[in-house]
Copies of this chain bind each other. A is one copy, B any other.
């Protein structure tokens, strides 16, 4: 069996590089499933995207949801208290929604303590630290459970080298943030597995890391180490092996382009898959910054990617058609195919064979 290096959440509750770059054995995930998804009193789906992502992509790993109010979002799992969840075999509570303001409110904090008291590990991708929740560290120590911070990058990340490494890589890139890069990568990975390819999904954001059971939160890394972190995330592999790497940000985003460029350079992708949103006119949250055309986005990403992989090419375009009419969808596909000459797919619905064929073509 060919095993590859994996970055995982270790027993100290920190993301850890298991044994450095050369290690070839995947380590077990400290934040073990099954999970109970904590939703607090969140009422909009977007704020609960971590919970929805886990339920969608790892249904076998989520056993229930814990909601604090009637009008809280319902992701369709059994409502369980921490104590009942523990009895049902749940091992960890995952904070599946982001509180308003980014800070953990006191009544959420008391829930986390209750879950720790019930014997569950607590897993968080929020900015505020679990250790700062009153009483939580003490409860965790008393019960022997772990506080796992997904946002803490692994210690000891190296500076990037630009040295090529074996294995094949495809990176999802976008014309903006929050435009489907994670779902496109997950769908592409699933399609590869369906074809029997040797492939891994490489996560770079909180939700992706929870889904994958490991990864590196690339936007939390110190700036000097972005490319180095990306090199670690998709290490040397079998020449036929594919890493499907979750993209972050956009080269066209005035806040985050540095993250996107470092990830692009360190990933050394053989191919990129461009994610677009036909309905979006401006960069999200940045009025006056236009969304680039697909042609422009492809050109600029390839220009940058070819610094570390001169053979990089674009293999297709991905968009989320879930809220479009069949007519609008067909028009979008036709227009983007005419513009770029590439396959255009709604990755959660469409056949991804045209993309896979181009990856090996």
Chain B minimum-CB-distance residue to A288: B162
Copies of this chain present: 2
- Residues in B with CB closer than 8 Å to A161 are 254-255, 286
Picked from B218, B220, B227, B300, the residue with its CB within 8 Å of the CB of A256 is B227
Chain B minimum-CB-distance residue to A249: B224
Picked from B160, B220, B254, the residue with its CB within 8 Å of the CB of A222 is B220
Q: Are B252 and A258 in contact (CB under 8 A)?
A: no
The answer to whether A162 and B223 touch (CB under 8 A), given A257-B261, A257-B265, is no
Q: Are B223 and A226 in contact (CB under 8 A)?
A: yes
- Residues in B with CB closer than 8 Å to A308 are 254
Instruction: State the main secondary structure of chain A at its contact with B.
Output: helix
A294-310 interface bits toward B, Cβ cutoff 8 Å, 1 = contact, 0 = none: 00000010011001100
Complex CA gap A283/B307 in Å reads 12
Picked from B162, B220, B227, B258, the residue with its CB within 8 Å of the CB of A226 is B258
In this complex, the member of A221, A289, A303, A307 whose beta carbon has the largest number of chain B beta carbons within 10 angstroms is: A307
Residue A174 interfacial (CB < 8 Å): no
* Chain A interface bracket (under 10, 10 to 19, 20 to 34, 35 or more): 35 or more
Picked from B160, B252, B259, the residue with its CB within 8 Å of the CB of A223 is B259
Residue A219 interfacial (CB < 8 Å): yes
Residue A159 interfacial (CB < 8 Å): yes
Residue A228 interfacial (CB < 8 Å): yes
A78-114 interface bits toward B, Cβ cutoff 8 Å, 1 = contact, 0 = none: 0000000000000000000000000000000000000
Picked from B227, B228, B258, the residue with its CB within 8 Å of the CB of A265 is B258
In this complex, the member of A224, A266, A288, A289 whose beta carbon has the largest number of chain B beta carbons within 10 angstroms is: A224
A203-245 interface bits toward B, Cβ cutoff 8 Å, 1 = contact, 0 = none: 0000000000000001111111011100000000000000000
Residue A262 interfacial (CB < 8 Å): yes
Top 9 A-B pairs, shortest CB-CB distance: A258-B262, A162-B254, A160-B255, A258-B258, A219-B224, A226-B258, A258-B261, A223-B259, A261-B261
